C-alpha cells in the first residue's frame, strides 16, 4: 500500500502562470523601452521576469527600469528574437563590473 496520495498533487513540470511580471528594460529610441534579454548558464537566450519589484531590485540593482507584462505576452514578444524561454525570479546573477584601481607598475601607451 502506498502511503502517499498523488491524485491532487500537480506535476513538478506543470507550469503555473506567474501573472503580471516586472520585466527589466533598457531605453530605446524616443520614449520606447526595449526588453532586456539574458542568457542561462548554458547560454540559451531567455526573457526574465520578476513577480515583484523588490525581487527585481535585489537581483539587478536599484536603478533598473522595468515594465509590467504578463508571462504569455512576454514570451510572445521575445520569441521572434530567439528567446523562447521565460525565467521567473532568477536569484543569481553576475556582479556588476567594478573598475580596478590604477596599478603603479602599469604603463599606458598612446598611439597617434
- Helix, coil or strand: residue 96: coil
Residue that wins the pLDDT comparison between 108 and 49: 49
> Element (H or E) spanning 47, and its range?
strand 45-49
Of the candidates 27, 28, 47, the one whose C-alpha atom is nearest the C-alpha of residue 37 is 47
Is 70 exceeded by the pLDDT of residue 103?
Answer: no
| Residue ranges covered by each domain of the chain | 20-88
The verdict on pTM exceeding 0.75 is no
Please write the tens of the pLDDT for every residue from 28-82: 888 888 999 999 888 899 999 999 999 999 999 999 999 999 999 999 999 999 9
pLDDT at residue 2 in the model = 43
Amino acid at each position: 500500500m502506498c502511503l502517499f496520495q498523488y491524485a491532487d498533487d500537480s506535476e513538478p513540470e506543470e507550469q503555473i502562470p506567474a501573472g503580471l511580471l516586472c520585466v527589466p528594460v533598457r531605453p530605446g529610441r524616443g520614449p520606447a523601452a526595449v526588453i532586456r534579454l539574458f542568457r542561462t548558464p548554458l547560454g540559451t537566450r531567455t526573457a526574465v521576469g520578476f513577480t515583484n519589484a523588490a525581487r527585481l531590485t535585489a537581483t539587478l540593482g536599484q536603478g533598473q527600469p522595468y515594465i509590467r507584462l504578463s508571462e504569455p505576452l512576454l514570451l510572445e514578444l521575445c520569441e521572434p528574437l530567439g528567446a523562447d524561454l521565460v525565467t521567473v525570479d532568477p536569484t543569481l546573477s553576475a556582479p556588476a563590473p567594478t573598475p580596478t584601481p590604477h596599478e603603479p607598475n602599469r604603463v599606458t601607451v598612446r598611439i597617434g
